[in-house]
Amino acid sequence: MKNIDDFIEVTVDTDDEYKVIIGNDLLKKTGEILLTLGFKKIAIITDDKVWSIYKEELEKSLKCSNIHYEVLIFPHGENSKSVQNYLKGIDFLAENNYRRSDALLAFGGGVIGDLGGFISATYQRGMQFVQLPTTLLAGVDSSVGGKTAINLKQGKNLLGAFKQPKKVICDLSLYKTMDKKYFLDGVAETIKYSILSSKEMFYELFSPIKQDDLRLEYLVKRCVEYKAKIVALDEQDNDIRRLLNLGHTIGHSIEKLSNYSITHGFAVAIGICYIAKLSYVLNLITKETAKDIVNCIETNDLQTSADFTPEEIFQNSILDKKCEDDTITVILIQDIGSCVLKKISLLKWKQYIKSAMEANLD
């Protein structure tokens, strides 16, 4: 069996530097990894689906390393990122006498990572935190970078904190048990990273990503490396980190308009298609490049358009956190592997959405 030193490691160079370990069958090594960090007592936050599949494997690994643990299981799904569950998490830690030096292990997808991360950020002004992402989306995106949040009735992610983990344990073999539609949400984010960072990676994605794909190690590594680089430059999301929102302003609007029946990744994929068309209309990229982006998204079984009007998409997009006064910062594509932030007036943004949606690539 592989030694833990043999897995791929990516360093995230934030104030408190940490490593993301990427590979197959890492769950079995969790106990060993936690011991190397000095943790002997951990609080596991997970969801019912993940726990029912992986309980035995994780417990076995922790017991082998003599790590004391307690588990708090939330129902799966976005609704779990609630104030009520946050308070349940805090109560659970206090009742079981957790100290700041103990670790909270978020074992699940982005929902559990965001909820668990926010609990760990605030309990006793911050306890230790480890991410064990179980979805592709969490592996390539949400488990790295330290953004944590829960939802309020007024909107998504409105209560949160920056909390970098001590380690991210990214076990690619866990994706095999995911429902395909959730896996595809992660594929959309992977395509996003390729457009932001690399032509080579982008054209690789013309062979659709599969749940047991041997290329996952390479793909996840490339996404995490890019995210780590950007997060190190702008940890608090004030500037260059906003590039990671490629396709997201329109995507969030589509998610909301569909009443969340179009999931995050699918909505982002549609947002990326409209941004590709807009970038073509603005003469930033050629028609061929715009077509390639739309084709890549289609080939990976994602959606490329939605049945909403430009006016509806515009109105919902300006409710987004990215709006300031009468301007909005949008991310445009200059080439595959190169995107740019552009601050524009809301009036212009409205025209841009219309021209993107009306653009013809034939």
Ligand X SMILES: NC(=O)c1ccc[n+]([C@@H]2O[C@H](COP(=O)([O-])OP(=O)(O)OC[C@H]3O[C@@H](n4cnc5c(N)ncnc54)[C@H](O)[C@@H]3O)[C@@H](O)[C@H]2O)c1
Residues in contact with ligand X by CB under 6 A are: 47, 49-50, 53, 76-78, 81, 108-112, 114, 134-135, 137-138, 141-142, 145, 147, 157, 174, 177-178, 182, 185, 264
**Least distance to ligand X, CB of residue 117, Å:** 7
**Least distance to ligand X, CB of residue 113, Å:** 6
Q: Which is nearer to ligand X, 199 or 229 (CB)?
A: 229
Residue nearest to ligand X (CB): 110
Q: Which is nearer to ligand X, 23 or 145 (CB)?
A: 145
Single out the residue of 184, 185, 273, 192 nearest to residue 227, CA to CA: 192
Residue type, 208: P
Which residues fall within 8 angstroms of residue 190, CB to CB, at 6 or more apart? 136, 140, 205, 209, 219, 220, 223
Q: Which is nearer to ligand X, 236 or 286 (CB)?
A: 236
**Least distance to ligand X, CB of residue 110, Å:** 2
**Least distance to ligand X, CB of residue 333, Å:** 20
Residue type, 186: G
Single out the residue of 358, 182, 210 nearest to residue 266, CA to CA: 182
Alpha helices, DSSP H, located in 237-326: 248-257, 264-281, 287-299, 310-317
**Least distance to ligand X, CB of residue 73, Å:** 11
Q: Which two tokens stand for residue 356?
A: 């993107």
| Element (DSSP H or E) covering residue 230 | helix 216-233
Single out the residue of 176, 167, 206, 178 nearest to residue 190, CA to CA: 206
Q: Which is nearer to ligand X, 217 or 335 (CB)?
A: 217
CA angle 322, 323, 324 (to 5 degrees): 120
Q: Which is nearer to ligand X, 85 or 142 (CB)?
A: 142
**Least distance to ligand X, CB of residue 348, Å:** 27
Burial class (CB in 10 A: 0-12, 13-18, 19+), 110: buried
Q: Which is nearer to ligand X, 30 or 134 (CB)?
A: 134
What is the spatial distance between Cα 24 and Cα 218, in angstroms, rounded to a whole number?
A: 12
Single out the residue of 130, 127, 59 nearest to residue 98, CA to CA: 127
What is the spatial distance between Cα 132 and Cα 28, in angstroms, rounded to a whole number?
A: 12
Single out the residue of 46, 49, 53 nearest to residue 70, CA to CA: 46
What is the spatial distance between Cα 142 and Cα 13, in angstroms, rounded to a whole number?
A: 16
Q: Which is nearer to ligand X, 85 or 134 (CB)?
A: 134
Q: Which is nearer to ligand X, 30 or 289 (CB)?
A: 30
Q: Which is nearer to ligand X, 83 or 94 (CB)?
A: 83
**Least distance to ligand X, CB of residue 69, Å:** 19
**Least distance to ligand X, CB of residue 99, Å:** 25
CA atoms within 13 Å, Cβ hemisphere of 89:
33
**Least distance to ligand X, CB of residue 49, Å:** 3
